[in-house]
Chains A and B, each alone.
Chain A
């Protein structure tokens, strides 16, 4: 549930209508001027219809300099952003050799493993010298090293499941495993805000896909009851399998999933559950074991747990954890395991070392410190932003916090102003989010110090005043001081 000021909704719609109208007029001119230039591809069908890339050409390219900024250092708390300029109004961007040192509020660097770490990096370099950067083969041919075996055992242990399988790419984990698990005659019920990889995998599986309202267990129950009663479309036979897919932390909202209620409903109607913990593994929970630990759900109750190593572990790849039979089945059917190149050995070593640091097995308490720091940082940042009057989404303890912008013109304004003051934020607009709800998404990391956060808060407050996104009344400072005086007395 988001509360939008009504006037903002009206002005946002009007802005989009204006942008759409200008885009259409430009397209008409383009067709007229292009009529006279002939091409020698007569009789061939066009590669893309003019309508398909309308959004990219007329809306995205105008503010292209806010997306895809190249960086030239490791994405730690502070990093170097390469400056770019454009001669033709953002259609092409040219890199300069100047860099600016900015505060990084956009990387998914939840535990600070993105930059070189005193425990992980020497081990990674050693394993690169021993095993070489790539195995140059798929897992079934010659790509399974002892590191892969150790990693799978480590991940299964960490997550709390009997066995696990790892893949080289996080997106592929979803889009190649779902077609193998479900087929025609199955039913996939997924949350309406699930990631594109899940949507792609569900579409590729051939099963029927139904969507339930985001994080609403009552609607999930309604959809389940309706679908079980009706059966398969047209034949009305019973479904072969039903699987419910939810995510741990939704990356665009920062919200935690209502896992206990959803698991209870799935057990009641005997549907399988698939939990995608891409953002929550390693970042939430007392020992970093993800959403299950945070919400008190036994990992035995979730049938398939999926996650990625890109966010909290500073590496690449994804995993699926489940029962031994499930993992054995995946090992001989999943194309990402049979044909795709296996995970790079230094990346595997980075994950193993990162897990050891988190669990404290390296002999220090750095893991526990990192987890405590990210929790404190996220809660501090979120409460300060809300006090200033911004509309911030997401639950407490979640390191992802989107600040609502709404108007399409405020997206480049916020992004460019923050960059001028050396804070790099990621802004997200349609089509990754709903049309009205454009936002700037901030990801807090354990490597941010308190001074970094305070500086970021000052910059964001100044830019927020300039751009006009403090939609809620700010808590007046006098009231805060009065509260402090009362506490002292």
Chain B
């Protein structure tokens, strides 16, 4: 059960952890376990639990991937201060395996959430809005684009 880890050539310590083996599995397992926790704490239907997981996943990933800019370290002298985490991974190369995986996960979550709630409103509306915003934010054409100056620097 050993995996080999090849050292990445990414100098940005904020994003190089994403290239190690086990990240994708951890991500999926965290989503699954948070669904179980929501289900056991709130005692609601599975569909509502998936909707809650989907929407909180949207909030968390939008905030950390597409809103927060820069890195948590001061010693790279701020060269990434204008880039969000999504724009930093894989050194800005588009359509890599990591990016494709991260684009597919919200879509799969949306499908699960809408299937288990039987496509009812109002959950369907919020789920669709969330997945639309997330997927559009991950398009290659949106690299370094700030619509209407939202989240741009001074």
Q: Which A residues are closer than 8 A to B by beta carbons? A: 1-7, 9-10, 12-14, 16-17, 48-49, 51-55, 192-193, 196, 199, 203, 211-214, 430-431, 434-437
Contacts and interface: CB of A to CB of B under 8 A. Distances in A.
Contact of B74 (A7, A52, A434): A52
B13 A14 contact: no
B90 to A, nearest CB: 14
Q: Return the 5 tightest CB-CB contacts between A and B, nearest first.
A: A9-B22, A435-B17, A13-B26, A54-B72, A3-B2
A196 B75 CA distance: 10
A10 B11 contact: no
Interface string B126-143: 000000000000000000
Interface residues of B, number: 29
Nearest to B5: A2
Contacts of B5: 1-4, 9, 436-437
A199 B13 CA distance: 13
Contact of A434 (B7, B21, B23): B7
B3 A9 contact: yes
10 contacts: A1-B4, A3-B4, A5-B1, A48-B74, A51-B71, A192-B7, A192-B9, A213-B9, A431-B73, A436-B22
A192 B3 contact: no
B68 A51 contact: yes
B88 to A, nearest CB: 13
B70 interface: yes
Contacts of A10: 22, 25-26, 29
Contact of A49 (B2, B16, B17, B70): B70
Contacts of B13: 430-431, 435
Contacts of A53: 72, 74
Interface in B1-58: 1-9, 11, 13, 16-17, 20-23, 25-26, 29-30
Contacts of B3: 3-6, 9
B73 A52 contact: yes
A431 B75 CA distance: 10
Interface string B88-119: 00000000000000000000000000000000
Interface of B: 1-9, 11, 13, 16-17, 20-23, 25-26, 29-30, 68, 70-75, 77
- Best-buried of B6, B22, B30 by chain A (most CB within 10 Å): B22
Contacts of A52: 70-74
Contacts of B70: 49, 51-52
A213 B8 CA distance: 7
A7 B8 CA distance: 21
Nearest to A48: B74
Given A213-B7, A431-B13, A434-B16, A4 B74 contact: no
Given A51-B72, A52-B74, 8 more contacts: A6-B1, A6-B22, A12-B22, A14-B30, A51-B68, A51-B70, A52-B71, A436-B17
Contacts of B20: 9, 434-436
B4 A2 contact: yes
A236 B5 CA distance: 35
B26 A17 contact: yes
A211 B11 contact: yes
Nearest to A55: B72
Contacts of B30: 14, 17
Contacts of A435: 13, 16-17, 20
Contacts of B75: 196
A207 to B, nearest CB: 15
B73 A55 contact: yes
A53 B26 CA distance: 26
A192 B8 contact: yes
A203 B25 CA distance: 36
A186 B22 CA distance: 38
Nearest to B26: A13
B61 to A, nearest CB: 13
B17 A434 contact: yes
A376 to B, nearest CB: 30
Contacts of A7: 1
B29 to A, nearest CB: 7
A78 to B, nearest CB: 34
